[in-house]
Every structure is written in structure tokens, then in C-alpha cells.
Amino acid sequence: MGALRRILPTSVAMAVGILVLAALFTTNPLLDGIGAYLVNLAVLVAAFALFLGVLNVLRVHARRVREGQKGRFYSFVLLAAMLLVIAVGLPSIPGQPSGPSQPAVAWIFQNVQLPIQASFSALLVFFLVTATLRLLTVRNLESAVMLLVALLVLAGQVTMGLVPLLPEIRDWILNVPAMAGVRGILLGVALGAVLTGVRLLLGVERPYGD
């Protein structure tokens, strides 16, 4: 029984992965239909997983509020906000779009969620200032080069035409060395994703069997 529990998930994952890949790289109508069906099935599984995650969040925070644990006020706010959005978004109003497109849900998104996200993004400025101050205390060549490049980019952003050469330096930094680094990182991420997919298809890694 233990061997079956290890072999069956691996076999299913390998078969599904090979079929979906074959549907992507071929024009066979049968494989296209099977691949589309498997992708739609994966979307359904992801939706059920999201639903279970929401139920788990409700259970954990409801228990925290019920038992009076530390942080119960924030758990109460989370539960109240979640239930409010669900209660507003689920009922269908005649003549109006349903779900996230409802005016009430759109109002909550525009006037509550977006300002909160903007506030969190604004906090990044303080973290960047703190990191810059810490960088100034490091006495080595790499830190000095990084600080110089950052100052040149910032000066190129706010030069307001006082120094015409600074925007050109900024554009060169962003388009040549910075872009080269970004492309290297993206290539590494892509190769890592391909390698992980191959390992999953070959059954070397079995996260679905844990």
C-alpha cells in the first residue's frame, strides 16, 4: 500500500505533464482536446484549493477570536472584512454586474484595498532609506560603486534639465548594465523552472506525494 501511494501520484503527474507538453508542441486535435481538458481540470482543482484555503483562514482566526488569543482584534477585523466582501459580492442584483464587478465591491476595492496597498508601497521608501544609510557605513569598493550608481540614477530622475548629461547616463545605466543583470536573473529563473519541471516529470521530486 505504501509503494502504491508513492508510485500512483508520480505516474499521474508524469502522464499529465507529458500529455500537456505534447499538446503544446503538436497540432494533433486529440492531444489538443486532452490538453485543454487537463488545463481546465487544473483550474478547477486550484479553485477548490483556494476555497479550502479560505475556509482554513476562517477556522484559524475564528478560533483565535473565540479563545481570546493574542492578536484576536486583528483576527476579528480580518473576519469581518472577509465576510463583508463575500456578503456584498455574492448576491446578484438585477440589472447590475455580479461578483467583483458589482459597484459595491468595486467601491471597496477602490477606496479600501487600493489605499492600503499604496500605503504599504510607500513604506518601501523608508526601507530603502534605511538600506542606503546602512550601505554608507560599509567601507568597500562594491558598496561605493553601488551607491554611486544609485545616486546617478536618482540625479537623472530629478535633474529637471539642469544637467543635460545626467538623463543620458541614467538611461545608459538602466539599459545596459542593469538590463544585463535583469536578463541574467530571468534566464536563471527560466532555467530553474525548466529543471524543476523536468525533475517533476521524471519523478525525482514528488511534492504531491508528501
Contact (Cβ atoms closer than 8 angstroms) between residue 13 and residue 35:
no
The angle formed by the CA atoms of residues 16, 19 and 20, to the nearest 5 degrees, is 85
Buried b (16+ CB within 10 A) or exposed e, 30-62: ebeebbeebeeeeeeeeeeeeeeeeeeeeeebe
**Rounded Cα gap, residues 189 and 204, in angstroms:** 19
Cell matching residue 114? 487600493
Q: Where are the domains of the chain?
A: 1-90
Sign of the CA dihedral with 188 first, then 189, 193, and 199 last = positive
Of 22-26, 107-111, 128-132, where does mean pLDDT reach its minimum?
128-132
Average pLDDT of span 86-105: 74
Report the pLDDT value the prediction gives residue 56, as an integer from 0 to 100. Answer: 92
pLDDT tens figures, 73-91: 888 988 888 888 888 877 7
